[in-house]
């Protein structure tokens, strides 16, 4: 097959737009050839358990899956009875970007709370953490947080621990959507275990696709008492890979060494380069009408632009509106975003704002 796309075209719409890291492609190739037992009874999936135990501690259980929505729905289902509900931020991926899958596929009632920065706090959780024993109310039994959040912000270790203690004190469980868990580790500068298992998280999803994988995520059970039935739920939700060795090999490539951290650190650094360059332009009075709505703590920059500017910029660099009503856009950086990409984008922003 001939190459059908122009590899020089760059964008800032999503970290899903990037290709596959060469080390991940090499791992898939190395896992190829010969026969291995299907459905997870292969040596690569066995090795994956050991790799995750190295990062998260002994006794964790790992279930490779195809995508983040599947990980979230399946992982949350395993933590809930049929009458259970999940408390989350209103901006959480499970609420705003999964097409109703938690409700329609998982049968899960979502109890959402508005937040200014995508992060829950004990006080915000308590807005929906009530009504236990009331047969007329879906029972709030799990709290779901996202690390890093959909707004690019990161929970500190202490923030996660405080939430976990609060959640557990109420008899609930804590789930972490970790689609960008590696970006959080890079942002916080601590091991993966520090802000997950050691901080009190019960179950999490680990994201690979946004960080250099071809397509691979995992549900990670940190507290075996908080989850049941994943062996069956994964199949029920069409997330059981027959040739699982190729999903596992991708995650091994990311986590066996430090590739997960290298990729995420680079993506974060490119977002910081973009933010710093634009902050400097604002301080110099050179970028009229440009503002920011969130701190840049990972690989996303959230900005506001004057009317029409975003559409003109998108003729050269693709990106998404976040809140079109207030001119808010999202710019995402990836493991393969280069300094030249950032500099070219900054120049384009300067040019379009100069026209204002």
Cis bond upstream, residue 350 (ω within 30):
no
**Residue 300 — φ and ψ, nearest 5°?**
-125, 145
Q: What are residue 61's DSSP bridge partners?
A: 221
Checking if the pLDDT of 175 tops 80, the result is: yes
Q: Hey, what long-range contacts does 30-36 have (CB within 8 A, 24 or more apart)?
A: 30/249, 31/245, 31/246, 31/248, 31/249, 32/246, 36/245
* Distance in angstroms (rounded) separating the CA atoms of residues 209 and 15: 8
Average pLDDT estimate for 60-68: 98
Domain 260-354 in CATH 3.90.1150.10: yes
Q: Which pLDDT band holds residue 355 (cuts at 50, 70, 90)?
A: confident
* pLDDT score for 265: 98
pLDDT tens digits, residue range 130-171? Answer: 999 999 999 999 999 999 999 999 999 999 999 999 999 999
Q: Which residues pair with 146 in a beta bridge?
A: 177
Half-sphere exposure of 59 (CA within 13 A, CB side): 8
For residue 183, the model assigns a pLDDT of 98
pLDDT (0 to 100) of residue 105: 95
Cα-based distances in Å from 306 to 47, 151, 296, 309: 51, 20, 20, 6
pLDDT digits (tens, 9 = 90+) for 256-286: 999 999 999 999 999 999 999 999 999 999 9
CB 275 within 8 A of CB 292: yes
> Right CATH number for 22-258 from 3.40.50.720, 3.40.640.10, 3.40.50.2300, 3.20.20.70?
3.40.640.10
Q: Which residue in 163, 166, 138, 168 sits closest to 149, CA to CA? A: 163
Tens of pLDDT, residue by residue over 32-46, are 999 999 999 999 999
| Residue carrying structure tokens 């959480």 | 92
- pLDDT of res. 308: 95
Listed in sequence order, the residues at least 6 apart from 323 whose beta carbon sits closer than 8 Å to its beta carbon are none
Domain extents in the chain:
22-258, 260-354
Lowest mean pLDDT among 8-12, 93-97, 201-205: 8-12
d(CA 45, CA 42): 6
């Amino acid at each position: 097959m001939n190459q059908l796309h122009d590899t020089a075209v760059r964008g800032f719409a999503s970290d899903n737009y990037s290709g596959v890291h060469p080390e991940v492609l090499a791992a898939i190739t190395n896992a190829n050839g010969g026969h291995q037992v299907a459905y997870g009874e292969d040596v690569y999936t066995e090795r994956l358990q050991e790799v995750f135990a190295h990062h998260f501690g002994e006794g964790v259980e790992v279930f490779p899956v195809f995508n983040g929505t599947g990980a979230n729905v399946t992982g949350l289902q395993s933590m809930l009875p049929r009458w259970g509900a999940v408390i989350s931020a209103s901006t959480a991926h499970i609420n705003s970007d999964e097409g109703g899958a938690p409700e329609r596929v998982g049968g899960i009632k979502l109890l959402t709370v508005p937040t200014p920065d995508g992060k829950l706090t004990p006080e915000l959780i308590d807005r929906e953490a009530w009504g236990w024993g009331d047969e007329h109310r879906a029972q709030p039994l799990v709290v779901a947080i996202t690390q890093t959040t959909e707004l690019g912000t990161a929970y500190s270790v202490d923030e996660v621990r405080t939430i976990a203690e609060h959640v557990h004190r109420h008899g609930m469980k804590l789930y972490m959507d970790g689609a960008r868990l590696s970006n959080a580790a890079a942002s916080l500068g601590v091991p993966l275990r520090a802000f997950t298992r050691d901080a009190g998280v019960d179950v999490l999803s680990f994201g690979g696709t946004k960080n250099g994988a071809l397509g691979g995520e995992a549900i990670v059970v940190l507290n075996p008492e908080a989850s049941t039935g994943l062996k069956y739920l994964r199949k029920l939700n069409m997330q059981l890979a027959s040739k699982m060795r190729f999903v596992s090999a991708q995650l091994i490539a990311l986590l066996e060494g430090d590739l997960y951290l290298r990729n995420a650190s680079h993506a974060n650094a490119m977002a910081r380069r973009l933010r710093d360059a634009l902050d400097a332009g604002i301080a110099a009075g050179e970028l009229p009408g440009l503002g920011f709505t969130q701190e840049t703590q990972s690989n996303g920059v959230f900005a506001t632009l004057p009317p029409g500017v975003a559409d003109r910029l998108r003729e050269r660099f693709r990106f998404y509106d976040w809140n079109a009503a207030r001119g808010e856009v999202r710019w995402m950086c990836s493991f393969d975003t280069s300094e030249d990409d950032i500099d070219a984008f900054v120049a384009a922003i300067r040019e379009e704002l100069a026209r204002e």
